[in-house]
Amino acid sequence: MKSIKKLYQEKYRKYGVDPRSLCWHEKGAAHQRFRQFWAEIDFNDKSVLDIGCGFGEMAKFLKKRYRGVLYTGVDIVPDFIEEAKKLNPGYRFLVSDYFSNPIDEKFDVVLASGVLNSNVSSNMGYRKKAIKIMFEHAKKVFAFNMLGSHPQPKNTKESNIWYADSLLVLNYCVSLTRRVILRAHYNPRDFTVFMFPVSDKK
């Protein structure tokens, strides 16, 4: 995680409050992923945890579209959290290496947009651990997106990015809960997964 944190800090020093600091080419790339969340989740009157919140762009979207949202954003980069607090006063933002030290709290909705794309040692093992941790903290739904597809895309020149096999990821998610949705129609190299706890009757 130290190498991931260092990468984002370097980009922040170079670009400041800019999508490129979050490894997005432009805002539209993030917003395309956000729209997949809207398609399946009713955020009204829900507690929401946004893991890897960056500058709090998700908080802005939720405020415009839904009522009664109790939002918490966490990120490993302190600079991002400081900027998020300035840009989104009244919301809760915390510095946290969530996969190593998760918040001892459950939320109705847990989101992770763009945080599972880094090229690390044991890529699938790292992602399985992260998915399990995040899913365990969701009361109603955990939703995440990831770069990749099926079949798995070939390596690119972006050495800091790893593209997953979406069906391998889906198979792992189904091992945790039988209530799973895969959305893979909106981008040829990106997919979104929704995981619902079996005990949730709604």
Indicate which CATH number applies to the domain containing 100: 3.40.50.150
Q: What is the pLDDT of residue 158?
A: 64
Q: Beta-carbon neighbour count of residue 116 at 10 Å?
A: 24
Report if residue 4 sits inside a domain: no
φ, ψ for residue 72 (rounded to 5)?
Answer: -130, 125
Alpha carbon distance, N-terminus to C-terminus of the chain: 36
Q: What is the pLDDT of residue 28?
A: 65
Report if residue 3 sits inside a domain: no
- Give the pLDDT of the chain (202 residues) as one tens digit per residue: 567 788 878 888 888 888 788 877 666 677 889 999 999 999 999 999 999 999 999 999 999 999 999 999 999 999 999 999 999 998 999 999 988 888 899 999 999 999 999 888 899 999 999 999 999 999 999 999 999 999 998 866 567 889 999 999 999 999 999 999 999 999 999 999 999 998 745 4
Q: What is the pLDDT of residue 159?
A: 76
Report if residue 57 sits inside a domain: yes
Report if residue 117 sits inside a domain: yes
Q: What is the pLDDT of residue 127?
A: 96
Report if residue 87 sits inside a domain: yes
Report if residue 5 sits inside a domain: no
Give the residues across from 94 on adjacent strands.
74
Task: Give residues with Cβ within 8 angstroms of 102, minimum separation 6.
Answer: 96, 133, 134, 137
Q: Are 152 and 163 in contact (CB under 8 A)?
A: yes
Q: What is the pLDDT of residue 23?
A: 75
Report if residue 167 sits inside a domain: yes
Domain that residue 54 falls in: 33-196
